[in-house]
């Protein structure tokens, strides 16, 4: 029997489980064990970012996650050709292109799809030909959505950082409106709409209520909460908030 598709999905980013491990070069904590607990808590997919400096997730983590998990893996990558060949070899369900700067603490901006179109086109084709879905992490602005659409990707992930970090009510309302209209535009162009970055247990509510958004990718807040309540519970609490917020709108 076919199970009903959940109305909004949660991708749990387990990078920071690997951050803790790499800090001491220990064998623990294991991102795969974390992913399994996140799945028990309701995660619909697992996201990891294989950074050029390998500061947290390693190739072996990605390979094990893809091989062992029964839920899809979304692999975040830069335009690094070695990493791209690795992705083709390992075949995660989805690859999401993100911009990367060595000195940044975490991904800062969305991709400049318009500027990178010529570099993106062949690698998107290579991944698509290998049966891997492709997503682009972009700021919620119309020009980037149109550029992503022209490249024929499957999905865009809207950068929620500016919304999540804005403190004064006026700029928060403005940032939320940008996300709403970007989601509407992307949806109307036939793109699957994902969103994420910087979302917490409170800021997730308004974003999860945006009807076009299919998936939210969240890491730092969930892994931080897990220190106190465990990863399964931390994931369940986030998923419940998302589902409740979405139910309020449909």
- What is the contact surface with ligand PXP in residues (CB under 6 A)? 13, 15, 49, 76, 96, 98, 106-107, 137, 157, 196-199, 217-221
C-beta of 186 vs 218, nearer to ligand PXP: 218
Q: How far is the CB of 188 from ligand PXP (least distance, A)?
A: 22
Could you give the residue ranges of the DSSP H alpha helices within 76-203?
81-90, 113-129, 142-150, 161-165, 169-188
- State the Cα–Cα distance between residues 62 and 42, nearest whole angstrom: 20
Q: How far is the CB of 202 from ligand PXP (least distance, A)?
A: 13
C-beta of 4 vs 206, nearer to ligand PXP: 206
- State the Cα–Cα distance between residues 143 and 112, nearest whole angstrom: 10
Does the annotation count 76 as an active-site position?
A: yes
Q: Of the residues 56, 76, 94, 212, which is catalytic? A: 76
- State the Cα–Cα distance between residues 41 and 225, nearest whole angstrom: 13
C-beta of 101 vs 170, nearer to ligand PXP: 101
Among 22, 24, 32, smallest CA distance to 66 is for 32
Q: How far is the CB of 77 from ligand PXP (least distance, A)?
A: 10
Q: Of the residues 16, 56, 159, 197, which is catalytic? A: 197
Comparing every residue's Cβ against ligand PXP, the nearest one is: 219
* Nearest 10 degrees: Cα torsion 47, 53, 55, 61: 50
Does the annotation count 159 as an active-site position?
A: no
- State the Cα–Cα distance between residues 66 and 90, nearest whole angstrom: 7
C-beta of 9 vs 217, nearer to ligand PXP: 217
Does the annotation count 49 as an active-site position?
A: yes
Peptide bond into 29 cis (omega under 30): yes
| Catalytic site positions | 49, 76, 197
């Amino acid at each position: 029997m076919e199970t009903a598709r959940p109305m909004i999905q949660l991708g749990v980013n387990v990078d920071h489980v690997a951050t803790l491990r790499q800090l001491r070069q220990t064998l623990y904590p294991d991102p795969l064990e974390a992913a399994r607990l996140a799945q028990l808590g309701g995660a619909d997919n697992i996201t990891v970012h294989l950074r050029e400096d390998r500061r947290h997730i390693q190739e072996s983590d990605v390979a094990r996650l893809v091989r062992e998990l029964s839920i899809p893996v979304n692999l975040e990558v830069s335009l690094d050709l070695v990493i791209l060949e690795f992705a083709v070899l390992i075949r995660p369900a989805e690859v999401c292109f993100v911009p990367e700067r060595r000195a940044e603490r975490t991904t800062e901006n969305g991709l400049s799809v318009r500027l990178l179109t010529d570099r993106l086109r062949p690698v998107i084709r290579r991944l698509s030909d290998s049966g891997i879905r492709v997503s682009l992490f972009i700021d919620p602005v119309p020009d980037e959505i149109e550029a992503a659409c022209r490249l024929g990707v499957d999905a865009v992930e809207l950068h929620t950082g500016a919304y999540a970090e804005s403190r004064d009510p006026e700029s928060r309302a403005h940032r939320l409106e940008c996300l709403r209209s970007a989601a509407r535009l992307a949806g109307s162009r036939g793109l699957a709409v994902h969103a994420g970055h910087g979302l917490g247990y409170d800021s997730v509510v308004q974003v999860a209520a945006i009807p076009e958004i299919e998936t939210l990718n969240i890491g730092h807040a969930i892994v931080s909460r897990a220190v106190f309540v465990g990863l399964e519970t931390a994931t369940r609490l986030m998923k419940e908030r998302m589902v409740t917020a979405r139910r309020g709108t449909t």
